């Protein structure tokens, strides 16, 4: 081959390479500039993205010393996206395989929304379904089958499986044809697949907006098998769910759950609403009362799927922010002791099947240290146990400490004594001769000691709980001033507690008129000893005694101690006590009443406090016995404070249908024994030091 021929061939190759380079260069330019395609993204052309809201984790709830009561744990759930599953036949195939995996691994899946029986011959069911109802004669009304069949209103490509005249068998046949189910499947297997697809389509067609979880709380074996199958449109998501670190304080902590229709209507009316219909919200107790602090800020997650509907990427465009840490005033150790004391002693005291309750508050600021109601329940298993709890005659779901109202009995006599001193009808030296009876305008009323107490001054009358003394005081003071004093002490009025509470009743003409009864002036004697129509909550009685021993300033009772950001770096709220009212009383009178309350233990031969008082902690207290059920039974109340010379806590307890208030002393004694023990003191010091670190 000559040199000329070689040069010629080399030139031809060079021209071809130059032409090809020019062509591909132009193509790249056209793609980048004219068609606006980034070559780095060209391999993602066959993907699509969507986004969803990710609910933020709720904040923790702790006791006053930082011990966690409620927190969160991760729970894995399975969600379905039918739009990512491909054709209707593919959708059915994916769901069929998913159900097979569930059966292999013994995992339950949710199929409760399709109102059709489990197998052929099919019939409509109404259990738990909001769309189908029955007439008075039991006839099924299919007025909303239009929605059940998922008609996409106002569009030309409506999915329509039936109308108001379609039978259950016809509906299932139509759905079977639509999804091209395998004819070899049994009717029950077809029903399983269609039930799942029905729930998924309810959401995809926006008939309902609540999230459908195919399966909840699935384990790693299930997750692994599903991911190995790479099932299109099947997603495993991590949810943050509530976890209780205590089995106590159920009535206080409360529950979370889905937003109800009524609550959603209320929320959506607010222009600043940040909730969506899938959010979890506090439904009761602390979870509801402090919702604004516990609720976090939701995030937005962008999901990328490939052409086969398989998730290939997920990225937060807005990171969720966890809720804040809510610190309660509760002492979790004291709460445990209180609940155990109720459980131990209530049935011993009460043979007539009544409940009980106890409240412990701080004299310093009226913060609630413990509040228990018996019988109770475990907050962690509330949903599983609900039906049984709701049917229990002893009402374990009922918070007797805040919602129950009780005649205060003789615990009310401190109020009567205060009113009498301030009205000028008695002092520390005046005596009343108790002969065992009192002539109330011709009606003879007796003292609990029928033989009488003899001459009783203020201090002795408190010690002996002399009815005749307080009948006399009530008559001379009058119901108006007695009620005014009671309300100043917080009896029959709101305490300020953040949870739902009863406000109670003060006996008098106003209440009698409101219930269509007649108030007689002679009724004041019964009111003066804590009977008549007087009805108060345990928290009101406890705070009334705390107000008395601290000197007359009534503070708001409260459960919220402080709020911090979830990383505990910033304090958002600290409770500052508010004076709601003030009760004036001379020092001499207050000391005389306290002296009488300090002598009750010896006068009533109460031995439960012997060990505590032997350690140097002296207790002031008052028993109360109130007649109920037309005097066929009594409630026993007891209120105590300690130490008597420098009060720190007040304990108030009630046992329904107990013989007498003195019978309930063991409950308060157990609580005080623990509170003043070296063990409890050390725990408090250690906890406080931990928080400072």
CA–CA distance, 545 with 320 (Å, rounded to integer): 46
Q: Would you state the structure tokens that stand for residue 537, as one six-digit string?
A: 């909550």
Please list, residue by residue across 1-38, b when 16 or more beta carbons sit within 10 angstroms of its beta carbon and e when fewer do: eeeeeeeeeeeeeeeeeeeeeeeeeeeeeeeeeeeeee
Whole-number Å distance between alpha carbons of 487 and 45: 74
CA distance 134 to 495: 47
- Please compute Rg for the chain using Cα positions: 36
Coil, helix or strand at residue 631: coil
Give the Cβ contact number of residue 221 at 10 Å: 12
The token pair at 27 is 């193509």
* Interatomic CA distance for residues 345 and 360, integer angstroms: 17
Tell me the backbone φ, ψ of residue 649, rounded to 5 degrees: -135, 155
Q: Which of 381, 379, 78 is nearest to 255 (CA)?
A: 379
Does residue 640 register a pLDDT over 60? yes
Least confident of 124-133, 327-336, 418-427, 608-617: 124-133
Sign (positive/negative) of CA torsion 111, 114, 119, 123?
positive
Tens digit of pLDDT for each residue in 575-609? 999 999 999 999 999 999 999 999 999 887 788 88
Of 347, 367, 277, 374, give the one whose Cα is nearest residue 55.
277
Residues of the chain with pLDDT > 90, as a percent, come to 56
Q: Which residues contact 162 (CB under 8 A, 6 or more apart)?
A: 145, 148, 149, 170, 171, 174
Residues facing 434 on adjacent strands = 454
pLDDT tens-digit profile of 468-524? Answer: 999 999 999 999 999 999 999 999 999 999 999 999 999 999 999 999 999 999 999
Q: What is the pLDDT of residue 685?
A: 64
Distances from the Cα of 593 to the Cα of 547, 620, 623, 669, angstroms = 14, 10, 14, 21
Cβ count near 53 (within 10 Å): 15
- For residues 604 and 613, give the distance between their C-alpha atoms in angstroms, rounded to a whole number: 15
Q: Residues near 406 by Cβ (< 8 Å), separated by ≥ 6?
A: 535, 536, 537, 538, 626, 635, 637, 654
Which residue has better confidence, 14 or 547?
547
Q: What is the H or E stretch that residue 234 is in? A: strand 234-244
Angstrom distances, CA of residue 294 to CA of 24, 64, 429, 572: 59, 16, 55, 12
Where would I find the H helices in 568-664? Answer: 587-603, 610-614
> Which pLDDT score is estimated for 130?
42
Q: What is the chain's mean pLDDT, rounded?
A: 85
Handedness of CA 497, 498, 504, 508 (dihedral sign): positive
Instruction: Give residue 126's pLDDT.
Output: 59
> Is residue 153 reached through a cis peptide bond, with omega within 30 degrees of 0 on the bond before it?
no
Residue, of 574 and 349, whose pLDDT is higher: 574
Asked if pLDDT for residue 291 goes beyond 70, the answer is: yes
Question: How does DSSP classify residue 277?
Answer: T
Name residues whose C-beta falls within 8 Å of residue 624's C-beta, 6 or more positions apart in sequence: 408, 409, 410, 411, 412, 530, 636, 637, 638, 639, 661
Give phi and psi for 421, each to the nearest 5.
-65, -45
Q: How many Cβ atoms from other residues are within 10 Å of residue 340's Cβ? A: 16
Q: Residue 293 CB: number of other CB atoms within 10 A?
A: 20
Quote the pLDDT of residue 445.
93
Q: Which residues pair with 579 in a beta bridge?
A: 555
User: Under a CB-based contact definition with an 8 Å cutoff, are residues 368 and 652 in contact?
Assistant: no
Two tokens at 557? 């009772």
Measured CA to CA, the distance from residue 240 to residue 57 in angstroms comes to: 6
Report how far residue 119's alpha carbon sits from residue 123's, in angstroms, rounded to the nearest whole number: 9
Q: How confident is the model at residue 412 (pLDDT cuts 50, 70, 90)?
A: very high
Above 70 in pLDDT, residue 317? yes
Q: What is the mean pLDDT of residues 527-532?
A: 95
**pLDDT value, residue 463:** 96
% of the chain at pLDDT higher than 70: 83
* Burial label, 71 (beta-carbon count in 10 A; 0-12, 13-18, 19+): middle
- Report residue 655: phi and psi, to 5°: -125, 120
Q: Which of 529, 511, 188, 251 is nearest to 378 (CA)?
A: 251
User: Please, are residues 535 and 406 in contact by the beta-carbon 8 Å criterion?
Assistant: yes
Identify whether the C-beta of residue 190 lies closer than 8 Å to the C-beta of residue 173.
no
Both tokens assigned to 181: 């189910």
pLDDT digits (tens, 9 = 90+) for 213-234: 899 889 999 999 998 888 888 9
Give CA–CA dist 550/647, Å, rounded. 8
User: Per-residue pLDDT averaged across 73-88, rounded?
Assistant: 88
Structure tokens of 303?
């999901």
Strands, E assignment, 30-146:
48-54, 61-62, 68-80, 133-134, 140-141
Reply yes or no on whether the pLDDT at 40 is more than 50. no
Contacts of 5 (CB under 8 A, 6+ apart): none
pLDDT, tens digit, 9 for 90 and up, residues 357-391: 999 999 999 999 999 999 999 999 998 999 999 99
Q: Which of 38-47, 206-215, 363-372, 613-622 has the lowest mean pLDDT?
A: 38-47
Residue 607 token pair: 């031995």
- Cβ-in-10-Å burial (0-12, 13-18, 19+) of 609 comes to buried
What DSSP string runs through 182-250?
-TTS-HHHHHHHHHHHHHHHHHHTTS--SPPEEE-S--HHHHHHHHHHT-TTEEEEEEEEEEES-SS-H
Distance in angstroms (rounded) separating the CA atoms of residues 355 and 375 = 6
Lowest mean pLDDT among 275-284, 487-496, 581-590, 635-644: 275-284
Band of pLDDT at residue 631, cut at 50, 70 and 90: low
pLDDT at 162 over 70: no
């Amino acid at each position: 081959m000559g040199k000329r021929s070689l040069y010629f061939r080399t030139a031809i190759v060079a021209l071809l390479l130059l032409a090809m380079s020019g062509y591909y260069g132009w193509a790249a330019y056209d793609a980048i500039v004219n068609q606006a395609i980034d070559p780095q993204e060209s391999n993602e052309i066959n993907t699509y993205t969507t986004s969803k809201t990710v609910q933020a984790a709720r904040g923790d709830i702790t006791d006053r010393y930082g011990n966690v009561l409620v927190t969160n744990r991760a729970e894995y759930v399975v969600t379905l996206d039918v739009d990512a599953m491909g054709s209707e036949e593919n959708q059915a195939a994916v769901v069929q395989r998913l159900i097979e995996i569930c059966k292999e691994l013994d995992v339950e899946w949710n199929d409760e929304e399709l109102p059709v029986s489990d197998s052929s011959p099919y019939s409509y069911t109404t259990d738990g379904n909001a769309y189908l109802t029955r007439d008075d004669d039991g006839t099924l009304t299919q007025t909303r089958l239009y929605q059940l069949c998922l008609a996409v209103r106002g569009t030309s490509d409506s999915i329509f499986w039936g109308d108001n005249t379609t039978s259950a068998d016809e509906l299932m046949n139509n759905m079977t044809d639509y999804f091209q189910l395998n004819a070899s499947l049994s009717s029950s297997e077809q029903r399983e697949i269609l039930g799942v697809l029905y729930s998924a389509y309810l959401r995809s067609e926006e008939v309902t907006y609540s999230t459908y979880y195919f399966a909840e709380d699935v384990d790693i074996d299930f997750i692994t098998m599903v991911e190995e199958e790479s099932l299109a449109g099947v997603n495993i998501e991590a949810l943050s769910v509530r976890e209780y670190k205590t089995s106590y304080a159920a009535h206080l902590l409360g529950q979370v759950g889905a937003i109800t229709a009524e609550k959603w209507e209320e929320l959506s009316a607010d222009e600043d609403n940040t909730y969506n219909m899938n959010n979890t919200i506090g439904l009761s107790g602390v979870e509801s009362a402090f919702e604004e602090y516990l609720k976090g800020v939701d995030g937005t997650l962008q999901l990328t799927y490939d052409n086969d509907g398989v998730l290939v990427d997920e990225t937060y465009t807005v990171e969720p922010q966890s809720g804040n840490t809510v610190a309660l005033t509760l002492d979790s150790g004291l709460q445990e002791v209180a609940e155990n004391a109720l459980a131990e002693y209530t049935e011993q005291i009460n043979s007539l099947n009544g409940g009980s309750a106890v409240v412990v508050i701080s004299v310093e600021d009226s913060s609630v240290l413990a509040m228990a109601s018996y019988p109770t329940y475990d907050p962690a298993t509330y949903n599983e146990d609900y039906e049984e709890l709701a049917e229990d005659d002893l009402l374990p779901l009922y918070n007797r400490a805040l919602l129950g109202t009780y005649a205060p009995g003789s615990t009310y006599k401190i109020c009567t004594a205060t009113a009498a001193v301030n009205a000028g009808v008695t002092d520390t030296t005046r005596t009343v001769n108790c002969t065992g009876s009192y002539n109330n305008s011709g009606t003879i009323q007796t003292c609990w000691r029928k033989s009488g107490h003899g001459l009783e001054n203020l201090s002795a009358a408190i010690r002996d709980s002399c009815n005749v003394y307080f009948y006399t005081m009530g008559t001379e003071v009058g119901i108006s001033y007695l009620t005014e004093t009671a309300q100043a002490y917080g009896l029959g009025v709101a305490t300020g507690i953040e949870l739902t509470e009863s406000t109670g009743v003060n006996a008098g003409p106003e209440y009698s008129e409101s219930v269509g009864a007649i108030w007689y002036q002679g009724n004041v004697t019964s009111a003066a000893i804590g009977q008549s129509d007087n009805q108060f909550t345990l928290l009101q009685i406890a705070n009334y005694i705390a107000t008395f021993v601290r000197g007359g300033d009534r503070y708001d009772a409260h459960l919220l101690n402080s709020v911090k950001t979830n990383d505990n770096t910033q304090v958002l709220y600290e409770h500052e006590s508010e004076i709601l009212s003030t009760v004036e009383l001379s020092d001499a009178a207050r000391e005389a009443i306290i002296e009488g309350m300090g002598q009750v233990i010896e006068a009533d031969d109460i031995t439960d406090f012997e060990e505590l008082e032997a350690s140097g902690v002296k207790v002031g207290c008052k028993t109360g016995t109130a007649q109920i059920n037309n005097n066929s039974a009594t409630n026993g109340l007891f209120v105590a404070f300690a130490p008597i010379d420098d009060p720190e806590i007040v304990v108030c307890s009630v046992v329904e249908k107990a013989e007498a208030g003195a019978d309930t002393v063991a409950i308060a004694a157990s609580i005080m024994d623990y509170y003043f023990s070296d063990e409890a003191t050390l725990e408090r010091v250690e906890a406080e030091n931990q928080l400072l670190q």
